[in-house]
Amino acid sequence: MFEAARGFQFCEPTIFERGVPGRNGLSIAPLDVPEVDSRALFGALLREKQAALPEVSEPDVVRHFVRLSQQNFSIDTQFYPLGSCTMKFNPKVNEWAARLSGFAHLHPYMPEPMWQGGLEVMFRLEQLLAEIVGLDAVSLQPAAGAQGELTGLMMIRAYHHAHGRSPKKVLIPDTAHGTNPASCTFNGLVAVPFASGADGIVHPEQLVSLIDDDTAAIMLTNPNTLGLFERHLPQIAELVHGKGGLVYGDGANLNALLGRARPGDMGVDVMQFNLHKTFTTPHGGGGPGCGPVAFKKALEPFRPIPVVRKTENRYALDTNCPKSVGRVRSFYGNFGMMVRAYAYIREMGAEGLKAATDLAVLNANYVRVSLGADYPPAFDALCMHEVIVSDKALQKETGIKTLDIAKRLIDYGFHPPTVYFPLVVAGAMMIEPTETESKETIDQFVAAMQAIAREARETPEKLHEAPNITRIGRIDEARAARKPRLRWSPNAQG
Ligand SMILES: *Cc1c(COP(=O)(O)O)cnc(C)c1O
């Protein structure tokens, strides 16, 4: 019926295809109470047909899900230099903390006196995050970075309305993450893209003619998605503030700043954190995220509800905030992620966070220099926590594509870096090693990249077919997204 395995690479059908009628994984004790007439109990609601559930044994279920889990690539199995995503190792002590029964078994409808500890963790985490970025207050509610952006922009809009204005334009450099313009549009604002300077960063002179009374905000990522520090941010903020606009900081790259620089000190008014990136909560499998927003006092009245307040020795949730943008997430946000981030920050301490940033920047620059001969950096400058290299010259010389290199890396056992982003760099490969990788691991990655460059010159056909030793070969990604085939078939590739 189906191939059982290829070595130890299991070819797993869907669990529905595994079932056999009548098989099950339960043994239920014989009934020792009077049987209930289910028709009398449920009436018209009684289900006539059996639910089409897979009928499988307990080992079937366990193997199915363990096998699927083994098809995952994760930071726990290998180096994962996916730029912009900060795939750092997530310390297991975070998992211990989040699983403590006092946290894990909280119910969102519990009365406040029963979960004072949970509220205290939220309150303390807000304070720590505010201090790390030099802003006045934090709301932990948004469920991801993108939702944090949206929330911040909602607050900016509410702020302008409260001042009797409704400016519409949000200036966004062409290097920005796609979620930036999307969040603007979603919030009824107009994204105005502009080109960053030839050196990859934004210069105040460029903006003078763009900023006017209709400018609601500028949205900047610092360091930007080219891995470069936006060193003119304070002057840019002054220009925007001068016309009544605000500065939104995309905080996804905070891993480059911890303990070294604070967005609030650079003129940022509101920003989001990506706790799942910078503060080590597992991500990458589409699991929950947490994208708190930090903001200056002037924006506080517009923050989402509920607000965690401390009064004497009690913590309470406040929903009486008439100017608030409202709820952006059910209940209190993704609480488990907050516990993990809190555990991480307390474990690291101020010195540890600063060391993490220093090492992240050192590792990225080590990659930049080590790869330079085959894959020159897009900008010949010190980078921050990630480096954008280009294979443009290699493409011209050998005819291979960036995607070929990325796919071939899989044969070498590495997750490919982010490719074709940022859009402004031809042949972009965005590599973010993070601070948690050893020199040995980074050296292996560099050796693999160099081996691929040699292959590109000597046996380019090998690269067009990669990956060659994976369970599934190269797929048509556009078709896989538009016409997903969810049924396993014995004739299908892989
Ligand atoms: C990851 C990222 C985002 C979006 O964050 P999510 O948590 O994935 O929604 C926004 N901007 C930048 C620069 C990012 O790297």
CB of 169 closer than 6 angstroms to any ligand 1 atom:
no
List the residue whose alpha carbon is closest to atom 14 of ligand 1: 252
The domain total for the chain is 2
Question: Using CA atoms, how far apart are residues 475 and 320, in angstroms rounded to an integer?
Answer: 52
Residue positions counted in the chain: 494
234 pLDDT more than 90: yes
Domain that holds residue 411: 350-482
CB of 225 closer than 6 angstroms to any ligand 1 atom:
yes
**The predicted structure's pLDDT at residue 4:** 61
Domain CATH number, residue 119: 3.40.640.10
What percent helix, strand, coil does the chain show, rounded to 5? Answer: 40, 10, 45
Strand-pair partners of 317:
308
User: What percent of the chain has a predicted confidence (pLDDT) above 90?
Assistant: 83
Question: Using CA atoms, how far apart are residues 457 and 35, in angstroms rounded to an integer?
Answer: 76
CA 255 from centre of chain: 13
Mean predicted confidence (pLDDT) in 230-238: 98
Mark whether 300 and 390 lie in a shared domain: no
Mark whether 426 and 447 lie in a shared domain: yes
Kindly indicate the confidence band of residue 493, based on its pLDDT and cuts at 50, 70 and 90: very low
Tens digits of residue pLDDT in 12-60: 888 988 888 899 888 889 999 999 999 999 999 998 888 888 999 999 9
6 pLDDT more than 70: no
Kindly indicate the confidence band of residue 1, based on its pLDDT and cuts at 50, 70 and 90: very low
Residue 474 to residues 414, 427, 479, Cα–Cα distance (Å) = 15, 19, 12
Question: Burial of 259 by CB count in 10 Å (0-12 exposed, 13-18 middle, 19+ buried)?
Answer: middle
Tens digits of residue pLDDT in 450-468: 999 999 999 998 899 999 8
491 pLDDT more than 60: no
Tens digits of residue pLDDT in 148-171: 999 999 999 999 999 999 999 999
Pick from 177, 196, 248, 279 the residue to mutate for probing ligand 1's pocket: most ligand atoms within 8 Å of its CB: 177
Residue 231 Cα to ligand 1 middle (Å) = 21
CB of 145 closer than 6 angstroms to any ligand 1 atom:
yes
CB of 221 closer than 6 angstroms to any ligand 1 atom:
yes
Mean per-residue pLDDT over the chain, rounded: 93
List the residue whose alpha carbon is closest to atom 5 of ligand 1: 145
Residue 84 Cα to ligand 1 middle (Å) = 7
For 112-162, the DSSP string reads GGGGHHHHHHHHHHHHHHHHHHT-SEEE---SSHHHHHHHHHHHHHHHHHH
Within-domain flag for 267 = yes
Question: Using CA atoms, how far apart are residues 137 and 125, in angstroms rounded to an integer?
Answer: 11
Mark whether 168 and 271 lie in a shared domain: yes
Task: Out of 319, 345, 371, pick the residue that ends a domain.
Answer: 345
Domain CATH number, residue 463: 3.90.1150.10
Mark whether 133 and 243 lie in a shared domain: yes
Within-domain flag for 442 = yes
Question: Using CA atoms, how far apart are residues 120 and 126, in angstroms rounded to an integer?
Answer: 10
> Which residue, chain included where needed, has tokens 């936006």?
230
Question: Using CA atoms, how far apart are residues 266 and 259, in angstroms rounded to an integer?
Answer: 14
Mark whether 328 and 359 lie in a shared domain: no
List the residue whose alpha carbon is closest to atom 7 of ligand 1: 145
Pick from 84, 151, 276 the residue to mutate for probing ligand 1's pocket: most ligand atoms within 8 Å of its CB: 84
Within-domain flag for 68 = no
Mark whether 458 and 472 lie in a shared domain: yes
Tens digits of residue pLDDT in 200-221: 999 999 999 999 999 999 999 9
User: What percent of the chain has a predicted confidence (pLDDT) above 70?
Assistant: 96
Mark whether 332 and 361 lie in a shared domain: no
Q: Assess contact for 75 and 90: CB atoms under 8 A.
A: yes
Mark whether 407 and 286 lie in a shared domain: no
Cis amide leading into 223 (omega within 30): yes
Tens digits of residue pLDDT in 403-447: 999 999 999 999 999 999 999 999 999 999 999 999 999 999 999
Strand-pair partners of 270:
248, 295
Task: Out of 318, 345, 372, pick the residue that ends a domain.
Answer: 345
Residue 146 Cα to ligand 1 middle (Å) = 6
Task: Out of 325, 345, 365, pick the residue that ends a domain.
Answer: 345
